Structure 1
Amino acid sequence: MEKIPASYRKRALDAQRGKVERITYQTTYQNKRYQKKALVYLPVGYNPNDSQRYNILYLLHGAMMSEASFLGGAGTNSGSAFKMLLDHEIAAKEMKPTIVVTPSYYPNNSFKTSDYVEDDPLNLAFARNELPNDLMPAVEKRYRTYARTADKKGFVDSRDHRAFGGFSMGAITTWYVFEHDLNLFKYYVPMAGDSWTVEANGGGTEPKKTAIKLAKHVQNSDYQANDFLILASVGGTDGTSSSMAPQIKQMRQHPQQFTKENLIYHIDSGGGHDIDSAANQAYNAFSQLFETK
């Protein structure tokens, strides 16, 4: 895995800086309504009055983090690692101009605890309900993605232009999105996190059962192996590799669903469980999103 160029860890030139906006929307969790926030990165050249449409990436944080953890804040001058990465990678044409949305899976800050395992129901609820029914309509009705209508038909028809990724518990959520929203997303970027579809840390404790369940999900769907791409990664010294590696190994025992072309697994040499390593992983993955068939 390549490391981010040193220049990408500095702010890009003014003319290369995308704009970050803040949006609000509402969602329901356990029969209670919540007002939520998300940040939206708009690449240089985005003009709401133009007809050009854009690919879109939803990017989710890890435990105890927030919607601002990746992009920093609104405006063009954020010095966050991911904001600078997006600016540089798009300017260098290593990544297609892409709208990037960073939400939070916490209904509000009162749900944050020191035990990340307790976040799992929130991750699942986000993938099954909030993402497709609340966040995506709010975002894609407002911004010009390839969805001609901000409803299920519009999202299904435009899935080739949509990606979901996340770090740590955001990666656990990414696997849930793969399971529950395969009809809405073609690309998946789980960074430093396994699938908990069988049990917490199940990629390591129950890798065979996890792989079987994921393979059956694809088998029972309307999609084939060439209809999706998983770009999984982890830091070389990150403890979550002990859960990711067994899961990936077992998934590759199902070649009808998971192939060397649609299931990629990279290791960031020397990388830990932190944003710096996640940025390295993202740098390599983002250039592979939205390839032309």
Structure 2
Amino acid sequence: MSKKLGLLVLSLIVGIGLTSSGLLFAMQPTQPVTAASTKLDRRLKMKKMPKHYRQLAADSQRGRVEQITYQTTYRNKTYQKKALVYLPAGYATNATKRYDILYLLHGATMSETSFLGHTGTDSTSRFKTLLDHEIAACKMKPTIVVTPTYYPDDRFVTSDYERDDPLNLAFARNELPNDLLPVVEKQYRTYARATDKKGLAAARRHRAFGGFSMGAITTWYVFEHDLNLFKYYVPMAGDSWTVAANGGGIAPSKTATKLARQMQRRDYQTTDFRILASVGGADGTSGSMAPQIRQMRQHPQQFTDQNLLYSIDAGGGHDLTSAANQAYNAFTQLFRK
């Protein structure tokens, strides 16, 4: 399919606009999401994040955010990268406790600070306060959270989100497994006893990857290419582009078949992974996610009601407010036996 035709199809599925902060987002789908149309796909009961989660938690319940640096290569050029690391409350006082870890990736035009804000304990960023409150309430296990960026540097940021796709794929295939994971998990107390490929793979059930928008598209790439390193996946408001841009909508059957074949090649069992997919009910990307999920369920040897869940944030748009609601529900499902 030509790029012009692909863009024409996309324009029929979603409209494109800008938020007040300048972030690219998808408008309402051409067909509204209804309970009847998504009944087959819904497996999680979606609740709204409590309002008090937007406020700072008590001092003793606040996690600390730190910054790390690492080096990566993209198209034969070396880049110095930064990422933020959230350490849950109590991390510093117990030198022997090991933690599960979640890598969380932003959407187009955003950065490594978009989820956690800034370093220290007093960030009021929506995801930072969400993590503090959800862990304090014992709804989420104490978890280290890493927020990198897929942009090699700021010069790669453009308003054309489709141009980010090669960066998303390169991040999943190279930067994440070879550069970011070894640095993070050598420095912090995760379940990885060693940071070579064998050591990281041995701790995969204690590791999750999630993302919003283009970060969700990257999440599907991570599922496809790094299944040996991650057990849990949280794609929020984004389909798989492994076949084509917006492939979940324009080529859902081919997309699902390719993902299923990757599972067959890797010889993993249905209990070896869990996908917690979600989208806002008024988010145009639901027009790509829902067809893909339905087609994935046509491969029951790989995808089941237990390892592939899809939920709707009623009325939610393509923004971090809805993403926080989706995360509030999904994070409680991570690292549970």
In the superposition, the TM-score normalised over structure 1's length comes to 0.99
Verify: 1:139 aligned to 2:214, yes or no. Answer: no
What is the match of residue 193 of structure 2? 148
1:185 maps to 2:230: yes
- Which of 2, 11, 15 is residue 60 of structure 2 equivalent to? 15
Which of 249, 268, 271 is matched with 1:223 structurally? Answer: 268
Amino acid at match of 2:278: S
2:244 pairs, out of 196, 199, 204, with 199
Match of 2:86 in 1: 41
Check if 1:276 corresponds to 2:321. Answer: yes
Map Cα deviations across residues 193-218 of structure 1 (whole Å, 9 max, x no partner).
00000000000000000000000111
1:265 and 1:48 mapped to 2: Cα distance? 37
Q: In the TM superposition, what whole-angstrom CA distance separates every residue of 1:89-143 from its partner, at most 9, and x where no partner exists?
A: 0000000000000000000000001100000000000000000000001100000
Cα RMSD for the two superposed structures: 0.7
Mapping 1:76-225, distance limit 5 Å: 76-225=121-270
Match of 2:28 in 1: none
Identity %, equivalent residues:
75
Kindly report structure 1 stretches of 4+ aligned residues shifted beyond 4 Å.
none
Distance across 1 between alignment mates of 2:264 and 2:198? 22
Aligned length: 292
Instruction: Provide the C-alpha distance between the structure 1 equivalents of 2:232 and 2:281, rounded to a whole number of angstroms.
Output: 23
Mark the runs of 5 or more structure 1 residues left unpaired by the alignment.
Answer: none
Letter in 2 for 1:141: K
- Secondary structure of the corresponding residue to residue 138 of structure 1: helix
Amino acid at match of 1:28: T
Answer 1 or 2: higher relative contact order, Cα 8 Å, separation at least 6. 2
The answer as to whether partners of 1:48 and 1:143 remain within 8 angstroms in 2 is no
Structure 2-normalised TM-score?
0.86
Rg (Cα) greater in structure: 2
Q: Counterparts of 2:250 and 2:207 in 1: how far apart (Å)?
A: 31
In the alignment, the residues of structure 2 paired with residue 138 and residue 156 of structure 1 have an alpha-carbon distance, to the nearest angstrom, of: 15
SS in 1 for 2:275: strand
Match of 2:5 in 1: none
In 1: Cα distance, 2:93 partner to 2:270 partner: 35
Q: Matches of 2:56 and 2:267 in 1, distance apart? A: 43
